[in-house]
Amino acid sequence: MLILISLIIHILFLAVSFDIHFTSPVVQNVSSHSWKKTGEAKRLVLIIADGLRFDTFWKANTLHLHNIGTTRGVWGRSRTQLPTESRTGHVAVIGGFYEDPSAIFKGWKENPVDFDSVFNRSRYTWSWGSPDILRIFSKGHNVDHIFTDSYSPEDEDFTGTNAYKLDEWVFIKFKDFLSSAQKNATLQQMVRRDKVVFFLHLLGLDTNGHSKKPHSREYLENLRFVDDHVKELEDQVNNFYGDNATAFLFTSDHGMTDWGSHGAGDPSETDTPFVAWGAGFYKPKIPSLSLHSVRRDCNQVDLTPLMSAVLGINFPVNSKGFLRAEHLVDDMKYRAIAMLGNAEQMYEQFKSLEEKKKATTYSFTFSAYPPLADSHYAVTDVQNLIDRGFYKQAIEAGEELHLISSSGIDYYHRYDSLWLYSVATLGFIGWIAYTLHCIILGNVKMTPNRNIQLIFVALGVFQALYLFCK
């Protein structure tokens, strides 16, 4: 009997450990806010080159993208976090948050809870690429406006034989799509609306990196192939629309080690490039001769609010990204309004989490996050600065509100951690004491004290109920 109880106790404490450490960072039931300005861009072309390292992009002879970074766009390093995998990297770029630890219960293969994304907030999204990636953003509720076109999983040949063909397939499909739109009146009307996203997922570099390694001739040739076709794609889009209202963002989901792996935290895996140009993005007043002199770094999740800002769509409600206002077009009012929208969305996550914590905590023991304990004027203060024309101060106030709200979210995520650790530790100690008690009584052939047993059982039941109620 003692062995059976011991097994149950250890399973219980294992479950408690998972409950403490593997909770989802995705805040549920968050209100979405419409920020009060039309986007500078009517549409966005998002290109993600799977497995592209930052240093390889920096050193490679990618003439078109390098030229954009020095003359008519903004570029830099976007840094991701562990694990450096394709699913987590794409969720960070498009959804605005890093890995959900509770994904362990799904075998790290998918996100365990529904989340918001740039695609969800768009009017229409068309996407081409790997079925594994496109499927992430085309399932769940309210995805009728997201259209996908993917090749067969059998086409993903990780031996690296002509891996660039995967990218070629995507570029051809996009070109054919624009041709179809010229002939189809309904499709033509759809693609000419605002808040439209085109997503191109390029798997060739990742495939070549795994099989041929990221310093190989095949990998570098694949990168030049992508660079050439990005130029062709830009020309196709501009010829089709002819309105200079398209924003372009080129980036990567993760890097890769010298031996062709990813998933860990080496800089070669966490550092990825991004290049943003076109409508809504910053354009240098004077072209630079050096990429380094105009480099502007950010975190990978910061690309989510950046895309939202240029399109004028609502910021995804689960995004933790921080809007880098200096990456936007040089219009201080536009930057200030966008920064307010980003800060307000983060603040809504904070409020939602705070209300949830209040509902599960006794009122006399609840301790609000001090910097935002009296926060109902925070958003209004930023709006007042904008109304008075103090745009620089409004941007700074919005940035501060975003950072404080982010810290507040972390505060409530860890709110019960110390107490839960303490209860779990005392539970282990109590179980050890009870086990020793039983062993000693068994060796000296003494009759167990029923009162002591009942006390241990009662304490154990109380502790289990408390832990799972939290």
Q: Is residue 349 part of a domain?
A: no
Clarify whether residues 62 and 10 are in a common domain.
no
CB within 8 Å of 117: residues ≥ 6 apart:
91, 94, 95, 96, 137, 304, 316
Instruction: Quote the CA–CA distance of 11 and 223 in Å, as a whole number.
Output: 49
Q: Is residue 366 part of a domain?
A: no
Q: Residue 54 maps to which CATH number? A: 3.40.720.10
Strands 271-278 and 196-202: unpaired
Domain boundary residue, one of 285, 311, 330? 330
Clarify whether residues 180 and 257 are in a common domain.
yes
Annotate 99-135 with b (16+ C-beta within 10 A) or e (fewer).
Answer: bbebbeeeeeeebbeebbbbbbbbebbbbbbbbbbbe
Clarify whether residues 201 and 246 are in a common domain.
yes
- For the cut 70, the answer to whether the pLDDT of residue 8 exceeds it is yes
Q: Is residue 239 part of a domain?
A: yes
| Percentage of residues of the chain with pLDDT beyond 70 | 91
pLDDT in tens, 211-230: 999 999 999 999 999 999 99
Q: Is residue 123 part of a domain?
A: yes
How many other C-beta atoms can be found within 10 angstroms of the C-beta atom of residue 426?
Answer: 12
Clarify whether residues 164 and 203 are in a common domain.
yes
How many other C-beta atoms can be found within 10 angstroms of the C-beta atom of residue 193?
Answer: 12
Q: Is residue 301 part of a domain?
A: yes
Instruction: Quote the CA–CA distance of 210 and 254 in Å, as a whole number.
Output: 13
pLDDT in tens, 357-402: 999 887 888 889 988 876 667 888 999 999 999 999 999 999 999 9
Clarify whether residues 194 and 272 are in a common domain.
yes
Clarify whether residues 10 and 78 are in a common domain.
no
Q: What is the mean pLDDT of residues 242-249?
A: 98
- DSSP structure class, residue 139: S
What is 403-434 written as a DSSP string?
HHHHHHHHHHHTTTHHHHHHHHHHHHHHHHHH
Clarify whether residues 9 and 104 are in a common domain.
no
Domain boundary residue, one of 330, 360, 393? 330
> What is the torsion angle, in degrees rounded to the nearest 10, for the CA atoms of residue 11, residue 15, residue 20 and residue 24?
160
Better-predicted residue by pLDDT, 7 or 48: 48
Q: Which of 360, 310, 427 has its CA nearest to residue 9?
A: 427
pLDDT in the model for residue 438: 76
Confidence of residue 127 (pLDDT cuts 50, 70, 90): very high
Clarify whether residues 54 and 16 are in a common domain.
no
Clarify whether residues 119 and 16 are in a common domain.
no
pLDDT in the model for residue 249: 99
Domain boundary residue, one of 330, 363, 398? 330
CB within 8 Å of 143: residues ≥ 6 apart:
119, 120, 137
Q: Is residue 421 part of a domain?
A: yes
Q: Which of 387, 399, 389, 393 has its CA nearest to residue 36?
A: 387
- The domain of 430 spans 2-22+416-469
Q: What is the mean pLDDT of residues 94-121?
A: 83
pLDDT in tens, 434-460: 778 777 766 655 555 566 656 666 666
Clarify whether residues 13 and 125 are in a common domain.
no
Clarify whether residues 325 and 458 are in a common domain.
no
Q: Is residue 388 part of a domain?
A: no
| Percentage of residues of the chain with pLDDT beyond 90 | 65
Please classify residue 211 by burial: count the beta carbons closer than 10 Å to its beta carbon, then call 0-12 exposed, 13-18 middle and 19+ buried. Answer: middle
Q: Which of 59-63, 305-309, 464-468 has the highest mean pLDDT?
A: 305-309
Q: Is the distance from CB of 283 to CB of 72 less than 8 angstroms?
A: yes
Provide the domain count of the chain: 2
Instruction: Quote the CA–CA distance of 446 and 255 in Å, as a whole number.
Output: 65
